[in-house]
């Protein structure tokens, strides 16, 4: 009896806001400042691990997260550089990435970016379109 093979195609959800943050401060200082600006309580989470094709070694990127229960929104601050590798190599100027996912209305995107830019030691912050970056699969949690 001949069996047929079937493929399961899964399309990942890239419906989130992503911001690049250029800042030379340590991650805990950035989190403290963003806690005050965004009325958040970021806490350390398990590091994000990625590996490139044909390589056994994995890179570990630190992650801080906060969940706003009222808005059903998850915030993550992710280090963009670890072990001389970048999570998003297209944006090497970003030291950190701020990922906002969930019930946040589109109209709030500019408000978040404005509040991030208000932090005195952040050199710059900018929006990144997650659908246009090659390494978007790194953001599937």
Cβ–Cβ under 8 Å, residues 79 and 61: yes
CATH code (residue 92)? 3.30.160
Query: Is residue 135 domain-resident?
Result: no
In a domain, 136, yes or no: no
Domain count for the chain: 1
- Does 83 fall in a domain? yes
Q: Is 96 exposed, middle or buried (0-12, 13-18, 19+ CB in 10 A)?
A: buried
- Give the pTM: 0.83
Please write the tens of the pLDDT for every residue from 84-112: 889 888 999 999 999 998 877 778 889 99
**Domain that includes residue 46, residue range:** 16-51+58-130
Would you say residue 98 lies in a domain? yes
108 belongs to a structural domain? yes
Residue 10 forms part of a structural domain: no
Using one digit for the tens of pLDDT, what is the confidence trace for 112-138? 999 999 999 999 999 998 888 876 566
């Amino acid at each position: 009896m001949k069996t047929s093979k079937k493929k399961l195609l899964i399309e990942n959800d890239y419906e989130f806001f992503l911001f690049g943050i250029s800042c030379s401060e340590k991650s805990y200082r950035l989190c403290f400042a963003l806690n005050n600006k965004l009325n958040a309580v970021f806490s350390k989470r398990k590091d994000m691990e990625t590996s490139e094709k044909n390589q056994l070694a994995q890179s570990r990127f630190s992650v801080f997260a906060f969940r706003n229960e009222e808005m059903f929104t998850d915030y993550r601050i992710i280090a963009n550089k670890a072990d001389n590798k970048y999570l998003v190599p297209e944006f090497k100027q970003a030291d950190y990435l701020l990922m906002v996912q969930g019930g946040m209305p589109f109209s709030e995107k500019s408000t978040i970016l404005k509040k991030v830019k208000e932090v005195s030691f952040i050199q710059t912050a900018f929006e990144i379109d997650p659908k246009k970056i090659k390494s978007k699969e790194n953001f599937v949690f």
